[in-house]
Amino acid sequence: MGRRALITGVTGQDGSYLAELLVSKGYTVYGLVRRLSTPNMTHLAAVKERIHLIDGDLTDQSSINNAIRESQPDEVYNLAAQSFVQTSFKQPTLTCDVSGVGVVRMLEGVRLHAPQARFYQASTSELYGQVQREPQDEATPFHPRSPYGFAKLMGYWAVINYRESYGLHASNGILFNHESPRRGIEFVTRRITHGVAQIALGKSKNLHLGNLAARRDWGYAPEYVEGMWRMLQQREPSDYVLATNTSFTVAQFASLAFKVAGFRNWRKFVSVDQALMRPAEVHTLRGNPKKARKRLGWQATTRVPELVKKMVAADLENLEGPRR
């Protein structure tokens, strides 16, 4: 019989790429979706007819249990979260409930209803926060700097505890930032590429950004979902960093994006908006993916200049319609 997978957060960037990957590998894919008055299925266009959607919410244990019983998964990918760091400062307890306690609910559901299933947790480089070492790897101490970060820290430790206490095959993917044309518009890379496309097409005159000096290790999302899958194919569960081991500042990303659209002087268009600054900032992140390379044979291949090109091209096409 073919394998079965349950994905939470299936409508998002990573969830939709992962659903496509698993469908292409012959899995029967189930996705947990939160009810919205206006459903957002855009990213699932390619696979919507081939996956099964189940209503549920990470804050609701019975809907999680029901989804696990209904899907009888061999693999569970917990990608759902309140994932925007800035919002987590405004809604800290909601963020903890979804992105922290939500992980415990998922693990309880798996422990009680599908204990043989392999479990992937979307952990994050935000755990490192105020970085203690450069580059960061699986042994680097954590120091989260936001409610999102400390909620995810709870999820990270919950995974390790369920592994040690109950023998669940549960793994943390400590993923550094990973982007694509499907990235939500509130995140900085997409905010930049969408803003650049609008300026290039005469639909806007400027772009407001926050901290231009922040430095991130940005990779390409479809490569990272392949890494998630590889983690669950290992005989033993473990925790892995996925990253490119290179980093760029927000200013460098913006400069590249304007250049791709034919603008030399990006500073002319960009103004800094204090409202986009965070109460505490994660200034710099760069990950060392050596363990993933060695054990999973995984490597990031797309670097920032190529990523910027893909994202600007997609935003130009979205806004102006396909080129002839």
Q: Which is nearer to ligand F7E, 199 or 209 (CB)?
A: 209
250 scored as a contact of ligand F7E (CB under 6 A): yes
223 binds ligand F7E (CB under 6 A): no
- Our finding on whether 99 is near ligand F7E (CB under 6 A) is no
The helix or strand, by DSSP H or E, that contains position 224, with its residue range, turns out to be helix 221-232
Regarding 255 and contact with ligand F7E (CB under 6 A), the answer is: no
Q: Which one, 71 or 99, has the nearer CB to ligand F7E?
A: 99
Q: What does the block give as tokens for 28?
A: 């029967």
* Catalytic (active site) residue 124: yes
* Binding status of residue 188 toward ligand F7E by CB under 6 A: yes
Judged by CB under 6 A, which stretch of 64-72, 133-141, 155-163, 203-211 contacts ligand F7E?
A: 203-211
CA 136 vs. chain centroid, Å, equals 18
CA distance 183 to 172: 21
Minimal distance in Å, beta carbon 159 to ligand F7E? 15
Residue pair 71/4 in contact (Cβ under 8 Å)? The answer is yes
- Radius of gyration of the chain, Cα coordinates, nearest whole angstrom: 19
Catalytic residue among 8, 11, 95, 124: 124
Distances (CA, A) of 177 to 4, 38, 180, 234, 246: 28, 28, 10, 24, 11
Catalytic, 126? Answer: yes
Bond from prior residue into 141 cis (ω within 30 degrees of 0): no
* The one catalytic residue among 148, 156, 224, 240: 148
286 is a site residue for ligand F7E (CB under 6 A): no
Using DSSP, state whether 75 is helix, strand or coil.
strand
Pick from 302, 73, 298, 292: nearest CA to 178: 302
If binding is defined by CB under 6 A, does position 216 make contact with ligand F7E? yes
240 is catalytic: no
Active-site residue (options: 17, 27, 30, 126): 126
Which residue stretch of 55-63, 83-91, 137-145, 293-301 sits at the interface with ligand F7E (rule: CB under 6 A)? 83-91
The answer to whether residues 150 and 126 touch, using CB atoms and an 8 Å cutoff, is: no
Gap between the Cα atoms of 4 and 169, Å rounded = 16
Single out the segment in contact with ligand F7E by CB under 6 A; choices: 23-31, 128-136, 208-216, 286-294. 208-216
| Whole-angstrom distance, CA of residue 78 vs CA of residue 103 | 7
Q: Which residues bind ligand F7E (CB under 6 A)?
A: 83, 85-86, 124-126, 176-177, 186-188, 191, 209-211, 214, 216, 250, 276, 278, 281-282
Which residues carry out catalysis?
124, 126, 148
